[in-house]
Amino acid sequence: MTISKAQILEQLKRVKGPSLSGNIVDLGLVSDMTLNDDEVVVSITVPAGLIDQLEPLRAAAERVTLTASGVTRATIRLVPDRAGKPAAAASAPVRSAPTVSQAAAVPPPMQGRAAAPQPAPGAKLPVPGVGAIIAIASGKGGVGKSTTSVNVALALQANGLKVGILDADIYGPSMPRLLNLSGKPQAGEDRILIPLEGYGLKVMSMGFLVDEQTAMVWRGPMLMQALTQMLREVAWGELDVLIVDMPPGTGDAQLTMSQNVPLAGAVIVSTPQDLALIDARKGLKMFRKVDVPILGIIENMSSFICPDCGGQHEIFGHGGARAEAERIGAPFLGEVPLVMAIRETSDNGTPIVATDPDSVQSGIYRDIAGRIWTRLGEERMLAGDRG
């Protein structure tokens, strides 16, 4: 089969430029292409000072080139632009002031502050200073999603990133307990909330604004207004990544967050058994329906490690999440065992990644965090229908 240069260029248009604006073909960065039977060699010219940082761009280009008809081998080379040709710059978003009707819809714990501006339907305004927003979700409760979220956030931080975490579960916030945090956020300039900090993470949760015993009965607009304010009216500062601990399930709150928040990707947490995987599939379908990239699947409570004998027992089965990832073509990020140390440190507000960084379990979380960050880099280079 003859390889078509035009088809390869069309595939390469799915890869974003170094500034994540435009694609590498239209930006004129594809400087050379050689076709030889079933092999393609492509040179991409990038700013010389960024060449070491653009491995995700190269990997994304290789990935899409291999999808071209007839291509079985692809070599992508990054070539430094000695002339210093600037990459296309992305325009900065302009934030609009809240309307009178928005200000009147502020939920009780937020009263006295203006309502956060709501994006227009279909718009996903970026959060100033936040490089990427990653949702960690599950199709159902009880699979250890919040424990996974906080330990992944701390693992990303241990890998050298500036990280924040938003507890988006209005009805059952977990971050105050998991990070042993209490007190109410203070209001800073323009009444923007100052997030609390725990183990170096910037944290916002409804659990800081209402008593732990208070039953939340909000629905619809008030629920979404609270989530919007906790995301957009908080002084996050400069963050490489903001982890959003999503509510369990696939209801209105989850769908609206997915549609209105500029999520760079989603991670699905599931236990191995079929009942949990049925609900995990619903979460996967929801994110794909709103064009949020799936960064991968984590199998939590993959096996039980006996604290007395050290034996491994597959209480919930084993390998179900890995098999599901292979079935749907999603990356598998890793297995987290069910061990007493993770449960105890979570209950005590002393997450294991922060308080026992040399443990086997902390190493597992750091490996998972590294895979998430690599996947994020690849996805951010893919333009496609996500713009």
Q: What is the Cα–Cα distance from 274 to 213, expressed in whole angstroms?
A: 33
Mean pLDDT: which of 58-62, 241-245, 293-297, 339-343 is highest? 241-245
**Phi, psi dihedrals of residue 179, rounded to the nearest 5°:** -110, 5
* Total number of domains constituting the chain: 2
- The answer to whether residue 68 scores a pLDDT higher than 90 is no
* 231-266 confidence digits (pLDDT tens): 888 999 999 999 999 887 666 667 777 777 889 999
Confidence of residue 83 (pLDDT cuts 50, 70, 90): low
Domain of residue 283, residue span:
125-386
Helix axes 145-158, 340-347, angle to 10 degrees: 90
More confident residue, 17 or 283: 17
Same domain, 257 and 372: yes
The pTM for the full model equals: 0.70
Would residue 36 count as lying in a domain? yes
Q: What is the Cα–Cα distance from 240 to 377, expressed in whole angstroms?
A: 12
Same domain, 246 and 369: yes
CATH code of residue 43: 3.30.300.130
DSSP-assigned states of every residue in 193-206 = BPPEEETTEEEEEG
For residues 193 and 185, the answer to whether their CB atoms sit within 8 Å is: yes
Beta bridge partners of 193: 187, 234
Same domain, 266 and 378: yes
More confident residue, 283 or 317: 283
- The answer to whether residue 208 scores a pLDDT higher than 60 is yes
Strands, E assignment, 82-231 = 133-137, 163-167, 196-198, 201-205
Same domain, 132 and 213: yes
Would residue 191 count as lying in a domain? yes
Q: What is the mean pLDDT of the chain?
A: 80
* 43-66 confidence digits (pLDDT tens): 999 888 788 778 888 888 988 999
